[in-house]
């Protein structure tokens, strides 16, 4: 079977392998969702679909239901004879989960299979390192890789200082500067949105996410180009919808941080605060609580100005809220390769 279209939409070898074990069904990817109805792209076109009755009945956790970005197994690949039926969701490589207060069974999937998440922050009043730290944890937790995108750099005289500030909390994540006005940074952004890759945009209202999407899509989303479109009536692009760019990569807007809720384990936090945690093993006592013990490396680092008191307070605050990430090793491996090319731009153009 040929999967050319689906591969353009990010279908991985692992997913093809997983799907090959399931007989008589077709692969699709969820582009958008409206209540229980999913808009799904398949090898042959775009159709609407719903989960099967059995699926609905057997699924205990909300987050096991399909969401935007999921690859699903359907009973058909064209919508000529009514809505398709989704029987299965293929294993996710990353997932943004909305934490509901209380029971984990109520956790809801917001976005799946995101490769890179652009944390967008503008140079003006939106610029806030404490919030950025939270975003970083949230993204690590999802299993996708964060990239900090500083927007509206045309409004800032000293972009170098912004880069350094972000770098002080980013622990080596890639940092880009863009301006929709001067068209700066386009290539750097596009270097992440390559064929088969899915990039999500995260950031507060007004930082320029829609502007960036319009800029990258050249005003018009072309996801239906070369495909049958079984949509009745005209399709207009809405929030939280996968958009296929002319060059082959995909883009999706996310709801704000508040809508995504908080987190519930530790790994994302560890990843985002490596610069803090490096001191822990230097404390004199193995079980140091970093409060009043003699020989506490955290205390000494703050005293000597190596670690900022604010940074430590952020860590403590977020630690109680917890975080999670599974892709730490992958990231570190990739980063070393990617860093060579990307940071060249940042370092040469903005840092110095």
Ligand X SMILES: Nc1nc2c(ncn2[C@@H]2O[C@H](COP(=O)(O)OP(=O)(O)OP(=O)(O)O)[C@@H](O)[C@H]2O)c(=O)[nH]1
Binding footprint of ligand X on the chain (CB under 6 A)? 151-152, 154-155, 179-181, 205-211
Nearest partner of 135 among 71, 203, 197, 74, judged by Cα? 203
Q: Distance from first CA to last CA of the chain, Å, rounded? A: 52
Q: Closer to Zn ion at the Cβ: 26 or 279? A: 279
Nearest partner of 93 among 176, 200, 213, judged by Cα? 200
Residue 54 beta carbon to ligand X: minimum distance, rounded to whole angstroms: 38
Q: Closer to ligand X at the Cβ: 86 or 120? A: 120
Residue 4 beta carbon to ligand X: minimum distance, rounded to whole angstroms: 33
CA gap 68, 111 in Å, rounded:
5
What's the number of CA atoms in the CB half-sphere (13 Å) around residue 266? 6
CA gap 296, 39 in Å, rounded:
55
Residue 112 beta carbon to ligand X: minimum distance, rounded to whole angstroms: 21
Q: Closer to ligand X at the Cβ: 100 or 156? A: 156
Residue 108 beta carbon to ligand X: minimum distance, rounded to whole angstroms: 20
Kindly state the DSSP code that residue 44 receives in the 8-state scheme.
S
Q: Closer to Zn ion at the Cβ: 26 or 312? A: 312
- 209 makes contact, choosing from ligand X, Zn ion, none, with CB < 5 to 8 Å by partner type, with ligand X
Residue 306 beta carbon to ligand X: minimum distance, rounded to whole angstroms: 35
Q: Can you tell me which residue has the tokens 């622990």?
A: 171
Q: Is 154 annotated as a binding residue?
A: yes
Q: Closer to Zn ion at the Cβ: 213 or 298? A: 298
**Beta bridge partner(s), residue 311:** none
Q: Closer to ligand X at the Cβ: 81 or 125? A: 125
Which of these segments, 91-99, 191-199, 278-286, 327-335, binds Zn ion (CB under 5 A)?
278-286
CA gap 118, 187 in Å, rounded:
14
- 290 makes contact, choosing from ligand X, Zn ion, none, with CB < 5 to 8 Å by partner type, with Zn ion
CA gap 115, 82 in Å, rounded:
32
Residue 306 beta carbon to Zn ion: minimum distance, rounded to whole angstroms: 14
Neighbours of 141 (CB within 10 A): 30
* Position among 169, 288, 301, 323 found at the interface with Zn ion (CB under 5 A): 288
Touching Zn ion, residues 292-321 (CB under 5 A): 296, 298
Q: If binding is defined by CB under 5 A, does position 98 make contact with Zn ion?
A: no
For residue 133, what are its two tokens?
Answer: 């730290």
- 269 makes contact, choosing from Zn ion, ligand X, none, with CB < 5 to 8 Å by partner type, with none
Task: Phi first, then psi: give them for residue 284, nearest 5 degrees.
Answer: -65, -40
- 298 makes contact, choosing from ligand X, Zn ion, none, with CB < 5 to 8 Å by partner type, with Zn ion
Q: Is 209 annotated as a binding residue?
A: yes
Nearest partner of 212 among 150, 170, 169, judged by Cα? 150
Q: If binding is defined by CB under 5 A, does position 283 make contact with Zn ion?
A: yes
Q: Closer to ligand X at the Cβ: 37 or 181? A: 181
Kindly state the DSSP code that residue 288 receives in the 8-state scheme.
-
What's the number of CA atoms in the CB half-sphere (13 Å) around residue 226? 11
CA gap 159, 156 in Å, rounded:
6
Residues 146 and 126 sit within 8 Å (Cβ to Cβ):
no
Residue 162 beta carbon to ligand X: minimum distance, rounded to whole angstroms: 14
Annotated binding-site positions for Zn(2+):
283, 288, 290, 296
Using CB under 5 A, list all residues that contact Zn ion.
283, 288, 290, 296, 298
Annotated binding-site positions:
151-154, 203-211, 283, 288, 290, 296
């Amino acid at each position: 079977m040929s999967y050319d279209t689906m591969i353009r939409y990010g279908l991985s070898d692992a997913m093809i392998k997983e799907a090959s074990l399931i007989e008589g069904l077709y692969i699709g990817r969820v582009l958008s969702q409206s209540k229980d109805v999913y808009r799904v792209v398949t090898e042959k076109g775009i159709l609407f679909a719903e989960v099967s009755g059995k699926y609905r009945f057997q699924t205990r956790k909300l987050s096991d239901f399909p969401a935007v970005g999921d690859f699903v197994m359907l009973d058909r690949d064209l919508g000529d004879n009514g809505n398709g039926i989704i029987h299965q969701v293929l294993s996710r490589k990353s997932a943004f989960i909305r934490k509901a207060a209380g029971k984990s069974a109520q956790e809801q999937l917001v976005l799946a299979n995101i490769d890179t998440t652009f944390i967008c922050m503008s140079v003006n009043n939106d610029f806030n390192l404490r919030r950025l730290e939270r975003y970083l944890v949230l993204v690590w937790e999802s299993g996708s890789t964060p990239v900090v995108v500083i927007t509206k750099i045309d409004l800032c005289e000293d972009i170098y200082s912004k880069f350094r500030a972000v770098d002080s909390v980013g622990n080596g994540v890639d940092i880009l500067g863009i301006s929709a006005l001067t068209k700066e940074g386009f290539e750097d952004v596009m270097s992440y949105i390559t064929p088969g890759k899915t990039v999500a945009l995260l950031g507060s209202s007004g930082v320029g996410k829609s502007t960036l999407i319009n800029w990258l899509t050249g005003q018009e989303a072309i996801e239906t180009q070369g495909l049958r479109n079984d949509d009745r009536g005209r399709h207009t692009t809405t929030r939280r919808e996968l958009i296929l760019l002319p060059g082959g990569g995909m883009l999706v807007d996310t709801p704000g941080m508040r809508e995504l809720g908080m987190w519930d384990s530790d790994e994302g936090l560890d990843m985002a605060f490596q610069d803090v945690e490096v001191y822990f093993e230097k404390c004199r006592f193995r079980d140091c609580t970093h409060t009043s013990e003699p020989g506490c490396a955290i205390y000494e680092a703050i005293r000597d100005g190596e670690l900022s008191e604010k940074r430590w307070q952020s860590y403590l605050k977020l630690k109680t809220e917890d975080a999670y990430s599974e892709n730490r090793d992958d990231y570190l491996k990739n980063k070393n390769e990617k860093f060579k090319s990307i940071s060249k731009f940042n370092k040469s153009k903005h840092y110095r």
